[in-house]
Structure 1
Amino acid sequence: MTSGYLSSHDLGKAEVECGEDTIEVVFLTESVFQGRIYVVGHSNDGRCVSRDTGRRTTSITVRKDQCGVAITRSVSLFHHC
């Protein structure tokens, strides 16, 4: 992958961890990742970009008060039959 874009075929799963001041998203890809991950609209701000090459796990961590992050709260209810 030289373009740095993930196709739906390569995307494994994403895990989100919300800390007190930060949000971290870890991507587990099906194949080796080469490229960068960034917050849309903030690709030129080094605080909002993560670069990685040659691994199947990559992540980005941003502060909640940077990169245009907006915090919303929601409740999801699941019923098991």
Structure 2
Amino acid sequence: MPELAEVGDFCPNDTCPNAGKTDEDNIVKYGTTAKGLQRYRCKTCGRTFSENTGTIFYGLVHSRRGDHRDSGTCR
């Protein structure tokens, strides 16, 4: 049974010649984001992406702790 590809195994850029190909050795780790997510860079096209690119979590924004209003009756 073939293994599933993980983020950082292939380039997600549709215009890259190595897009979607694994085992091309074109992806390198490229630091981390401000939120601590691993960043990657494609040596073929130069595009950078994070570990949540292409997932349901990409671009997800959540409120900071304490930013929401309490719906309780105490004031």
> Do the structures match in fold with TM over 0.5?
no
Larger Rg: 2
TM-score normalized by the length of structure 1: 0.29
TM-score normalized by the length of structure 2: 0.30
Greater relative contact order structure (CA < 8 Å, 6+ sep): 1
